[in-house]
Amino acid sequence: AQSVAQPEDQVNVAEGNPLTVKCTYSVSGNPYLFWYVQYPNRGLQFLLKYITGDNLVKGSYGFEAEFNKSQTSFHLKKPSALVSDSALYFCAVRGDQAGTALIFGKGTTLSVSS
């Protein structure tokens, strides 16, 4: 069965500092990994995804994520955090078999202080 773990409920960083939001996954076959962001009372916005190829994926708003197959991780990173990055972040995974749904983690709240 597919699963996603986001071990931190909340991550606090100061503006200008680098940030990391952690994600580990379990899936049969090759993984397709996604990060989404959610602002209060809004839907989910797509940030980036890993399908194949380069382990470092670049996405929207300066975010990037590193795929590590041996550690089954897909951590979200940004070199310099902004206060406007404060939001709820979700990691999601699906397998490469037909019909598998996208499964989400519980989310990590990122709080960036000025």
Partner 1 sequence: DTGVSQDPRHKITKRGQNVTFRCDPISEHNRLYWYRQTLGQGPEFLTYFQNEAQLEKSRLLSDRFSAERPKGSFSTLEIQRTEQGDSAMYLCASSLSGPGNTIYFGEGSWLTVV
Site of interaction with partner 1 (CB under 8 A): 4, 32, 34, 36, 41-46, 49, 51-52, 90, 92, 94-107
Nearer to partner 1, 12 or 45 (CB): 45
We find the least distance from the C-beta atom of residue 15 to partner 1, in angstroms, to be 26
* Minimum CB–partner distance for residue 52 and partner 1 (Å): 8
Which residue type is seen at 42? R
Q: Is residue 35 within 8 Å of 76, Cβ to Cβ?
A: yes
